[in-house]
């Protein structure tokens, strides 16, 4: 990803907690002393485990405890040397990052956080390994973090001086014809499902479920995103209006709680914890080790449409936006359509939408009125990319063989000996190792699509586009979707605003891999702050229309002030109650996670 480019994925706090959030780092120790509360230990401090104690943990977990090295050691020694150059090339490959416990898919966020390795990591192969690590961290008052694929933009799987539970080795996949959650016989009917280890990534799950299994499972769009993290955050696929959120499709989870107990949770066992795991945020309630998700019958076809229209004046762009809003409501506001429309610089509207259950003729017919409008005014509009509709049998959608041999949509892992199915969508490749400048998101209620409100919506989107680019993600709002999936999502912890939203606005910016202090590879902080300010102005324009808009926890502003309300709305009080029941001492603490307002920003000191 080039510097200062719009990212692909544009792709109420308690008073005491809010006040503490503004304190400088130097004040944390004083605050903690006044509060007289828990402080976790760091290497070299009294209470840090001895070598013998670490060796004991290593025996418990089958010699899968690793002391993590600084991945930037070669760059610190010689920033212009070959080893450093090779490293920065390597971290543009998401599969390289997946294989290293000391790396995360995002290298940092300007003025927020920088990726740094934990002191030790347990490469867990089983729930028993996880339980041993959890108990060790609790007993020795260690900072604990959890990482599967490491795709958190917020840095929630990253904490120096901590013990990392790395679930990446937990990669089993098992298909079920008639799954019944444990303890639910006679209460929940058997149904097709798939069980997945917490460290698995969506690309491999899709390959097992669709090309091989002939079914569909609701997961994330990016092939290298981890399964557990996406479900815990809510999780949207390309066709959420048809299949619901990933969290709403969760039937059962195996999870290790702060007491070191391995629990099988579902609608019949620990239902409150099960509910919290469905969208309550990753890393806050325990360590998920296995998930079982319902699968769905495949439609006849999947597909996509791509097009790009440039308006030749601001006034023409404003008219184009209003025409698109009306067209979306009339022809696309239904379960057949998902993904995005981008509002880019130069008064450009870029369409990149996904299709399910329509043939090519039907898909083209759905867009004909809009493209006829564009073609009828050549003095106002031109196609930068002519409309292209592709429709194909649904069963080949995620086949690595088909994608590598017959499609130009993916890149493959270039390393010698890399697995054949190590592929990534070209549109996602720039996210590997990215350094973020900004991000923001806001749900738009379906009432804005009513004819009486379309002008206001068009005015707002046009004004926002003049500040900074953004995208409407129609698959990340459930309005217009099937009633049963909306009801299923209602029984998750995700902000209820998603039920009434027709789309989620996402904005952001960043550059390629960067690390402060590494000469020649440092982030451009001046550009970062400029772009972050422009992005914030764009969001301010939106908030004038939707002042109470919620935000999606996985794609949001790192510095969001009222994150409790924005992420979870009326569900936050119940989430706090679940947190208090299963993790009263805050062993699982992540940035802007449930209960994190009681902890310092680094997660080491309890301040409330």
What confidence tens digit (pLDDT) does each residue in 51-90 have? 999 999 999 999 999 999 999 999 999 999 999 999 999 9
- Rounded to 5°, the CA angle 356-361-365 comes to 90
Examine the pLDDT at 518 and tell me if it is beyond 60.
Answer: yes
User: Helix (H, G, I), strand (E, B), or coil: what is residue 120?
Assistant: strand
Examine the pLDDT at 31 and tell me if it is beyond 50.
Answer: no
pTM of the predicted protein model: 0.93
User: 23 and 575 in contact (C-beta within 8 Å)?
Assistant: no
Q: What pLDDT is stored for residue 368 in this prediction?
A: 98
User: 586 and 257 in contact (C-beta within 8 Å)?
Assistant: no
* C-alpha to C-alpha distance for 68 and 158, rounded to whole angstroms: 13
* C-alpha to C-alpha distance for 557 and 536, rounded to whole angstroms: 9
* CA dihedral over 182, 183, 189, 190, signed as positive or negative: positive
Q: What pLDDT is stored for residue 37 in this prediction?
A: 56
Domains defined for the chain, CATH in brackets: 173-297 (3.30.465.10)
User: 342 and 350 in contact (C-beta within 8 Å)?
Assistant: yes
Report helix angle 127-139 to 51-60, nearest 10: 160
Token pair belonging to 551 = 């935000």
Share of the chain above pLDDT 90, in %: 93
Q: What pLDDT is stored for residue 121 in this prediction?
A: 98
Dump pLDDT digits (tens) for 503-517. 999 999 999 999 999
Examine the pLDDT at 349 and tell me if it is beyond 50.
Answer: yes
Helix (H) or strand (E) holding 288: strand 287-294
Residue 587 Cα to chain centre, angstroms: 22
Q: What pLDDT is stored for residue 38 in this prediction?
A: 85
Residues near 328 by Cβ (< 8 Å), separated by ≥ 6? Answer: 449, 474
**Euclidean distance between the first and the last CA atom of the chain, given in angstroms as a whole number:** 40
Dump pLDDT digits (tens) for 261-295. 999 999 999 999 999 999 999 999 999 999 999 99
Dump pLDDT digits (tens) for 223-237. 999 999 999 999 999
User: Helix (H, G, I), strand (E, B), or coil: what is residue 166?
Assistant: strand
Mean pLDDT across the chain: 94
Q: What pLDDT is stored for residue 24 in this prediction?
A: 36
Band of the pLDDT at 22, cuts 50, 70, 90?
very low
Band of the pLDDT at 34, cuts 50, 70, 90?
very low
Band of the pLDDT at 18, cuts 50, 70, 90?
very low
């Amino acid at each position: 990803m080039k510097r200062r480019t719009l990212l692909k994925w544009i792709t109420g706090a308690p008073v005491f907690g809010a006040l503490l959030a503004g304190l400088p780092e130097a004040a944390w120790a004083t605050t903690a002393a006044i509060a007289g509360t828990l402080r976790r230990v760091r290497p070299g401090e009294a209470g840090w485990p001895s070598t013998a104690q670490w060796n004991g943990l290593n025996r418990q977990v089958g010699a899968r405890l690793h002391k993590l090295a600084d991945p930037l050691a070669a760059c610190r020694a010689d920033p212009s040397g070959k080893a450093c150059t090779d490293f920065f090339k390597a971290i543009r490959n998401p599969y390289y990052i997946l294989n290293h416990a000391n790396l995360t898919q995002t290298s940092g966020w300007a003025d927020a956080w920088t990726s740094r390795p934990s002191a030790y990591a347990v490469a867990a192969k089983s729930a028993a390994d996880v339980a041993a690590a959890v108990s060790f961290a609790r007993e020795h008052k260690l900072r604990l973090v959890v990482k599967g694929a490491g795709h958190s933009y917020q840095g929630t799987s990253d904490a120096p001086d901590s013990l990392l539970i790395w679930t990446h080795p937990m990669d089993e996949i098992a298909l079920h014809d008639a799954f019944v959650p444990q303890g639910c016989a006679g209460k929940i009917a058997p149904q097709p499902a798939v069980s997945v280890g917490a460290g698995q990534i969506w690309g491999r799950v899709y390959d097992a479920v669709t090309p091989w299994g002939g079914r569909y499972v609701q997961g994330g769009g990016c092939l290298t995103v981890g399964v557990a993290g996406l479900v815990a955050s809510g999780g949207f696929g390309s066709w959420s209006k048809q299949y619901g959120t990933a969290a709403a499709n969760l039937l059962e989870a195996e999870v290790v709680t702060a007491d070191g107990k391995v629990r099988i949770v579902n609608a019949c066992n620990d239902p409150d914890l099960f509910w919290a795991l469905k969208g309550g945020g990753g890393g806050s309630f325990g360590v998920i080790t296995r998930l079982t998700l319902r699968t769905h019958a495949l439609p006849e076809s999947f597909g996509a449409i791509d097009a790009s229209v440039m308006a030749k004046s601001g006034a023409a762009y404003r008219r184009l936006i209003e025409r698109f809003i009306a067209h979306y409501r009339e022809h696309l506001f239904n379960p057949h359509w998902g993904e995005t429309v981008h509002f880019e610089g130069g008064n450009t509207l870029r369409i990149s939408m996904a299709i399910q259950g329509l043939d090519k003729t039907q898909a083209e017919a759905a867009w004909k009125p809009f493209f006829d409008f564009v073609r009828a005014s050549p003095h106002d509009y031109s196609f930068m990319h002519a409309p292209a509709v592709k429709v194909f049998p649904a069963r080949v959608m995620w086949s690595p063989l088909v994608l590598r041999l017959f499609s130009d949509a993916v890149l493959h892992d270039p390393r010698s000996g890399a697995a054949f199915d190590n592929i990534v969508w070209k549109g996602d490749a720039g996210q590997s190792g990215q350094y973020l400048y900004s991000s923001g998101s806001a749900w738009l209620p379906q009432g804005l699509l009513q004819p009486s409100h379309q002008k206001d919506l068009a005015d707002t989107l046009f004004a926002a586009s003049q500040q900074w680019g953004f995208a409407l993600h129609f698959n990340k709002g459930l309005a217009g979707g099937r009633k049963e999936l909306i009801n299923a999502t209602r029984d998750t912890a995700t902000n209820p605003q998603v039920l009434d939203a027709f789309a989620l606005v996402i904005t952001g910016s960043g550059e390629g891999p960067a690390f402060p202090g590494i000469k020649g590879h440092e982030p451009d902080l001046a550009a970062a702050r400029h772009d972050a300010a422009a992005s914030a102005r764009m969001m301010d324009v939106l908030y004038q229309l939707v002042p109470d808009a919620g935000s999606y926890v996985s794609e949001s502003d790192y510095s969001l002030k009222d994150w409790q309300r924005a992420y979870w709305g009326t569900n936050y009080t119940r989430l706090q109650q679940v947190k208090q029941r299963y993790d009263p001492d805050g062993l699982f603490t992540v940035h802007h996670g449930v209960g994190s307002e009681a902890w310092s920003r680094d997660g080491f000191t309890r301040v409330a």
